[in-house]
């Protein structure tokens, strides 16, 4: 009986250790399969990361530095003038700070023909800097003396936003 009891204690302890080892084995197998899957996709992840870094670099180059902002404002203004528009308002607003970038809204009011407005918008869209256009309205220009709408001149109110990288 004592031999049976001793045998049972030894077997029971070994059986519990066996169950623990089986659980560990299942956990290790899952972890191994997960890491094996990651390792098999490692090159694809590296390629994707490199592509994302290249795109980020390209986009970062499109964001002007703080000292380039006055030049960009002047470029937008010149673009309007060379498009044949008359500026009634060109007013940079307060900067809006975001996590990774700073946004500078500019309130713009211009007067010109439909074609001049289209040329201006097209040229702004083609700039090598990121400039987005928001909140625009276009309406007929009232003639100063008769309060009637001129057939060929339009007034466009728009908010242009230029962005620069916020150095951390």
Judge if 21 and 35 occupy the same domain. yes
Last-in-domain residue among 27, 62, 97:
62
Judge if 73 and 154 occupy the same domain. yes
Identify the CATH number of the domain in which residue 94 sits. Answer: 3.30.70.60
Q: What is the pLDDT of residues 66-76, one digit of tens each?
A: 778 888 899 99
Please spell the DSSP secondary structure of 25-44, one letter per residue: HHHHHHHHHHHHHHHHTHHH
Q: What is the pLDDT of residues 121-142, one digit of tens each?
A: 999 999 988 889 999 999 986 6
Judge if 57 and 103 occupy the same domain. no
Q: What is the pLDDT of residues 30-57, one digit of tens each?
A: 999 998 888 888 888 889 999 999 988 8
Judge if 55 and 8 occupy the same domain. yes
Judge if 76 and 21 occupy the same domain. no
Q: Rounded to whole angstroms, how far apart are CA atoms 78 and 92? A: 15
Phi, psi (rounded to 5 degrees) for 85: -90, 155
Judge if 20 and 8 occupy the same domain. yes
Pairing relationship of beta strands 131-142 and 101-112 according to DSSP bridges? unpaired
Last-in-domain residue among 24, 41, 62:
62
């Amino acid at each position: 009986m004592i031999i049976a009891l001793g045998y049972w204690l030894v077997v029971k302890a070994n059986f519990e250790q066996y169950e623990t080892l089986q659980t560990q084995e299942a956990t290790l197998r899952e972890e191994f399969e997960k890491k094996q899957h990651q390792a098999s996709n490692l090159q694809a992840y590296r390629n994707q990361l490199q592509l994302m870094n290249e795109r980020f670099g390209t986009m970062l180059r499109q964001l002007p530095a703080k000292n380039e902002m006055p030049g960009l404002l002047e470029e937008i203004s010149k673009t309007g003038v060379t498009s044949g528009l008359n500026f009634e308002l060109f007013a940079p607003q307060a900067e809006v700070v975001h996590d990774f970038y700073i946004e500078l809204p500019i309130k713009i009011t211009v007067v010109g023909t439909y074609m001049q407005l289209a040329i201006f918008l097209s040229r702004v869209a083609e700039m090598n800097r990121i400039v987005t256009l928001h909140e625009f309205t276009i309406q007929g220009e009232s003639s100063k003396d008769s309060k009637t709408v001129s057939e060929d001149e339009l007034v466009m109110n728009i908010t242009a936003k230029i962005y620069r990288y916020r150095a951390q």
